[in-house]
């Protein structure tokens, strides 16, 4: 009976380790996804800012002529 208890305990520990690894991997994937989303959003914002600057400069150029 003692071996059965020990085996059950080892199985439980292995399951806990496995679940902890899955949680850590999920958290890392979530952080990476959030960083990618932030970079993409900032890239879009920069693109829009540059387009607006181009329009503003074109408007200034039109006003001087």
- For residues 50 and 42, give the distance between their C-alpha atoms in angstroms, rounded to a whole number: 12
* pLDDT for res 59: 87
Task: Write out the residue range of the structural domain in which residue 50 sits.
Answer: 1-65
Q: What is the pLDDT along the chain (65 residues), one digit of tens a residue?
A: 688 899 999 999 999 999 999 999 999 999 999 999 999 999 999 999 999 999 999 988 777 76
- For residues 44 and 53, give the distance between their C-alpha atoms in angstroms, rounded to a whole number: 14
pTM, two decimals, is 0.62
Count of domains in the chain? Answer: 1
For 30, the token pair is 């979530």
Q: Where are the alpha helices (DSSP H) in the chain?
A: 2-64
- For residues 3 and 6, give the distance between their C-alpha atoms in angstroms, rounded to a whole number: 5
């Amino acid at each position: 009976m003692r071996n059965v208890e020990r085996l059950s305990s080892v199985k439980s520990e292995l399951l806990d380790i496995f679940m902890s690894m899955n949680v850590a991997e999920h958290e890392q994937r979530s952080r990476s996804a959030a960083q990618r989303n932030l970079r993409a959003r900032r890239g879009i914002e920069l693109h829009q800012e540059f387009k607006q600057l181009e329009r503003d400069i074109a408007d200034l150029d039109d006003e001087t002529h």
